Amino acid sequence: MQQALALAHRSGLLPYPNPWVGALVVKGGRVLGRGWHLGPGTDHAEVMALTQAGTGARGATLYVTLEPCCHWGRTPPCTEAILRAGVREVVFALRDPNPEVAGRGLRILRSRGLRVTNGVLADRAAAANEAYLKYRATGLPFVTAKVAATLDGKIATRKGESKWITDEAARQRAHHLRRENQAVLVGVNTVLADNPNLGPRCGPKFEPWRVVLDSKLRTPLRSQVVGSGRCIVACSANAVRANYLRLERAGARVWRFHGRRVPLRPLLKRLAEEGILAVLVEGGSETHGSFFDQELVDRVFWFVAPAIIGSSRSLSAVGGRGVERLADARRLRDAQVEPAGNSWLIHGNLSRWALKFCHDPVATAAAARR
């Protein structure tokens, strides 16, 4: 199962909105087939592994990180492929909370005489699929907040200077975060102040979606985010229509929402409906504050630079309303600290989707939907 989990990670961001899945066909102590899911419309991990194993799959054991699907979608049911291949035993890690599966895959295989074991390394399988699990339970993407601040929690001086709070090594680590998410979200003030590209500068070419919160459509047509060709500008219904049309002609997608401000939960829901299940929020202050106030952040990566800016007029990392009582402060679970150049990186989770799902994902998803 550990090997199957390692195979699942080969998929990167390709499977979304489908889950990460890895599979192995094993007989007589030998691995005959390996598979991982490459995205909607492509073979599932089980089918890839069974195809590679060929006739050797008869009488073998299939290890897979998620319950095999049993419904027709873009591809046929994996349960049918397993039965045709003549597999003797199926071992999987995690039950699939998708209502079209939700234990049915397990029951179908057992009813046809296969030995089926589930729950093997379920905690690790759930941790690898937190974005998918949250989406199945809530319809929302998994949100990571990235902050780079000084020791006193500042992200800019009182005159607005912010480049650079951290050193190059820390910034490289932050660019890896962009590679791990399908979209990078900022407020329009960040675009106006810094004109960021928001794409990763490391590794193979990868272009995340750039999402800009811009109620009044002030995003410049010549900004790098618009020029990327993968830009979504979220505005209010009151925004000037002429600006809306100009941004669309420049290549941006413009999403309009009711109200004077862009509502974050409906925006996240629409991103998930577009298949975007992993979102990195890079701030600034008010954007981070809004996400924390509404308890929409699942994971935090906080870079701390060994510097002090001071001043009550300099910009703090997290604005918004905040909390009135210390008991209500958001606290990281399983927080870890590691060096990042001459800075430190503190990271941990605010939500516990993996822990919630590793015992009974079907019941957890149903309860969350209610």
**Looking at the annotation, which residues are catalytic?**
46
Q: Which of 233, 243, 297 is nearest to 270 (CA)?
A: 233
Contact 334, 346 (CB under 8 A): no
3-state SS, residue 319:
coil
**Inter-helix orientation angle 78-85/45-53, to 10°:** 20
307 burial (CB, 10 Å; 0-12 / 13-18 / 19+) is middle
What's the rounded Cα separation, in Å, for the pair 187 and 178? 16
Can you spell out the DSSP letters for 143-159?
Answer: EEEEEEEETTSEEE-TT
Cis peptide bond upstream of 187, omega within 30:
no
Both structure tokens of 204: 């193979």
Contact 156, 293 (CB under 8 A): no
10 burial (CB, 10 Å; 0-12 / 13-18 / 19+) is middle
What's the rounded Cα separation, in Å, for the pair 203 and 282? 20
- CB count within 10 Å of CB 172 equals 15
Q: What is the greatest pairwise CA distance in the chain?
A: 71
Both structure tokens of 284: 């600034």
Q: Which of 54, 126, 124 is nearest to 97 (CA)?
A: 126
Backbone phi, psi, residue 243, to 5°: -65, -40
